[in-house]
């Protein structure tokens, strides 16, 4: 049996397909929210993993203080650099507001050592709780207008910033920095979708970064 489509049949099929597509498009009378998207700049936080008191991964976006070291309060540092992703030059940031908070450990904190996913790139679980919302307990720290900018903090310095007694800190408590970005057009973004902030997904948005206390 010859299965070759003759030219006239082929043309008929093409016309039928084109007509169906035209009919489908002509029936569309709704503009969905996702069709009105805009390109946005997003925060980018880079940790100096060499300054972490315990081994960590850049993709985990977390550093560590080790309380087992007697001099940890003033001798250890959390160093990180704030910048932003500009979507290949299509979205510029005017400024980023930085907020900081001290947080007690979760009921089930992420395990340590950090385990990477099967791709051996991203941590297999997020390193901080979601949603990453700027709350009343988050203290305004600084507005950054020149990028990149590097910060360095000892445990004692961070404790003084948020007003806590370092002697009350326990393993898996943590300091967390959050970001609200203002774009060049004046649009201010104070929260991103949870998935965009999840360290285990590798999304190009670092809406928070932080340092955890360990004792090992």
CATH number reported for the structural domain that contains residue 132 in this entry: 2.60.40.1940
pLDDT at residue 7 is higher than 70: no
Q: Is residue 39 part of a domain?
A: yes
> What is the C-alpha separation between 46 and 208, in angstroms, rounded?
11
Residue 208, CB-side half-sphere exposure with 13 Å CA sphere? 30
Domains of the chain: total: 1
Is 175 inside a domain boundary?
yes
Locate tokens 């959390």: which residue?
A: 78
Query: Does the residue 180 lie in any domain?
Result: yes
Question: Residues 70-85: what's their mean pLDDT?
Answer: 97
pLDDT tens column, 112-132:
999 999 788 999 999 999 999
pLDDT for res 74: 98
Residue 7 belongs to some domain of the structure: no
Q: Residue 79 domain-assigned?
A: yes
CA 111 – CA 96 distance, rounded (Å): 31
Q: Read off the pLDDT band of 24 (50, 70, 90).
A: low
Which of residues 215 and 28 earns the better pLDDT score?
215
Percent of the chain with pLDDT over 70: 87
**Tens-place pLDDT, residues 151-161:** 999 999 999 99
Mean pLDDT of 174-182: 97
Containing domain of residue 149, as a range?
35-214
* Contact status, residue 148 vs residue 83, Cβ threshold 8 Å: yes
């Amino acid at each position: 049996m010859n299965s070759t489509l003759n030219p006239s049949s082929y043309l008929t099929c093409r016309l039928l397909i084109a007509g169906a597509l035209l009919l489908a498009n002509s029936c569309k009378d709704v503009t969905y929210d996702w069709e009105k998207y805009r390109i946005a700049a997003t925060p980018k936080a880079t940790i100096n993993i060499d300054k972490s008191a315990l081994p960590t991964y850049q993709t985990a976006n977390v550093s560590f203080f080790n309380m087992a070291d007697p001099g940890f309060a003033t001798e250890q540092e959390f160093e990180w650099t704030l910048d932003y992703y500009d979507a290949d030059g299509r979205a510029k940031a005017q400024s980023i507001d930085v907020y900081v908070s001290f947080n007690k450990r979760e009921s089930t904190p992420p395990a340590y050592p950090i385990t990477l996913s099967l791709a051996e790139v991203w941590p297999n679980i997020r390193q901080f709780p979601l949603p990453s919302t700027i709350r009343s307990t988050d203290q305004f720290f600084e507005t950054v207008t020149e990028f990149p900018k590097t910060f360095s903090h000892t445990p004692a310095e961070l404790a003084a910033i948020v007003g806590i007694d370092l002697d009350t800190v326990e393993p898996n408590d943590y300091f967390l920095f959050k970001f609200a970005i203002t774009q060049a057009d004046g649009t201010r973004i104070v929260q991103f979708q949870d998935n965009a902030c999840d360290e285990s997904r590798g999304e190009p948005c670092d809406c928070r970064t932080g340092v955890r206390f360990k004792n090992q």
